[in-house]
Amino acid sequence: MPKLEFREVGKSFVSPDDNKGTLTVVDRLSLAVEEHEFLSVLGPSGCGKTTLVRMAAGLIPVDVGEILLDGVAVTNSSPKVSMVFQNIGLMPWKTVWGNVALGLELLSHRSLTSGEREEVTASIEMVGLRGFENYYPYQISGGMQQRVGLARALVRKPTVLLMDEPFGALDAQTRAILQDELLHLWRERKCTIFFITHDLDEAIYLSDRVAIVSRRPGRIKQVLKVGLPRPRYAYDARADPEFVRLRHLAWESIKEELSRL
C-alpha cells in the first residue's frame, strides 16, 4: 500500500473576481508515494503544487477524488504528517527553542512534559543548532531559520514530511548543505518525503522519483525514476551521465509546459 496516494484529485477555487467564476487548479491528478520514498514534484509556477501539499496536509479539502494516508482518506491534519514551507512561519517573539517546541505544543495543546522538552532539545541538535536555543529568529541567518523549521517539523516524529519549496529562498551553498542534511535525516528517520521544488537539479539530486506536473490545471505529466546510487555527493552526482540525462528529460518536459502557459 502506498504511504500517500492522490487518487483522481481535483480542486477548484472561486475567483475573488465575482464574474470570473471558478479556477480549476488541479484536475484528476493521481500519484502514489511509496513508504520511505523521497518523491519530488516539479512544475511551473501556478500549476497547483502548494495546493497539492495543503490538501495532503489536510489543511484544505479536495473537491473530487481522494488523498489517502496509509490507506485512509485525509480529512484533517494528522500527527503523522509535518509540513515545512519556504516561508518558514517562525514566531518572531519566540526563541529557537520556543519555535521548535511549538511543533509539539500545537499537537497536544498543553505544556510539554520533561520527556517532550528533551525531544525539543534533541531536534535542535539534530539540525545543528545546538548553542542557539535562546536566539530569536532575527538573530540567525536564513539557513538557520530553515533549520529551525525543519526541527519543528521533525520533533513531531512524522512518518510523512511535506515540504513546499523549503530551500527556495536560500543561497546556493546553504541550499546544498541543507539538501545533504535533509538526505541524512531522511535516511536516519526513515520517513517518506513529498518535496515540492521548481529546481530541476534539486529534484533529481534528492529524489527516488521526480513527478512533473503540467501547467494549470495540474496533472501528472511524467514520472522520472532517478537511478543514481546513494549516498550521493552534491557536485559529483551532478556530473554523472544519468543526472545529465534526467536533467535534459526534465527540462524538455517543463519547457513545453512553460511555453504553453
Distance, in Å, from the CA atom of 219 to the CA atom of 201, rounded to the nearest integer, reads 21
> Which of 194, 229, 188, 193 minimizes the C-alpha distance to 213?
194
Q: Between 45 and 139, name the residue whose CB sits nearer to ligand ADP.
A: 45
Distance, in Å, from the CA atom of 248 to the CA atom of 217, rounded to the nearest integer, reads 24
Q: Between 51 and 159, name the residue whose CB sits nearer to Mg ion.
A: 51
CB of 80 to ligand ADP, least distance (A): 23
Exposed e or buried b for every residue in 38-58, given b needs 16+ CB within 10 A? bbbbbbbeebbbbbbbbbbbb
- Judge contact between 182 and 150, C-beta under 8 A: yes
Q: Between 95 and 207, name the residue whose CB sits nearer to ligand ADP.
A: 207
CB of 156 to ligand ADP, least distance (A): 23
The option from ligand ADP, Mg ion, none interacting with 217 (CB < 5 to 8 A, set by class) reads none
Q: Between 23 and 140, name the residue whose CB sits nearer to ligand ADP.
A: 23
> Which of 234, 230, 158, 221 minimizes the C-alpha distance to 189?
158
Q: Between 51 and 123, name the residue whose CB sits nearer to Mg ion.
A: 51
CB of 49 to Mg ion, least distance (A): 5
> From start to end of 70-130, where are the E strands?
72-73, 81-85
CB of 91 to ligand ADP, least distance (A): 23
CB of 167 to Mg ion, least distance (A): 13
The option from ligand ADP, Mg ion, none interacting with 48 (CB < 5 to 8 A, set by class) reads ligand ADP
| CA-to-CA dists, residue 67 to 5, 96, 106, 199, angstroms | 6, 33, 23, 25
The option from ligand ADP, Mg ion, none interacting with 51 (CB < 5 to 8 A, set by class) reads ligand ADP
CB of 127 to ligand ADP, least distance (A): 25
Q: Between 43 and 166, name the residue whose CB sits nearer to ligand ADP.
A: 43
The option from Mg ion, ligand ADP, none interacting with 215 (CB < 5 to 8 A, set by class) reads none
Distance, in Å, from the CA atom of 144 to the CA atom of 149, rounded to the nearest integer, reads 9
Binding interface with Mg ion (CB under 5 A): 49-50
- Judge contact between 25 and 217, C-beta under 8 A: yes
The option from ligand ADP, Mg ion, none interacting with 25 (CB < 5 to 8 A, set by class) reads ligand ADP
Three cell numbers, residue 228: 543514481
The option from Mg ion, ligand ADP, none interacting with 24 (CB < 5 to 8 A, set by class) reads none
> Which of 172, 173, 176, 152 minimizes the C-alpha distance to 163?
152
Binding interface with ligand ADP (CB under 6 A): 13, 23, 25, 43, 45-51
Phi, psi for residue 246 in degrees, rounded to 5 = -65, -40
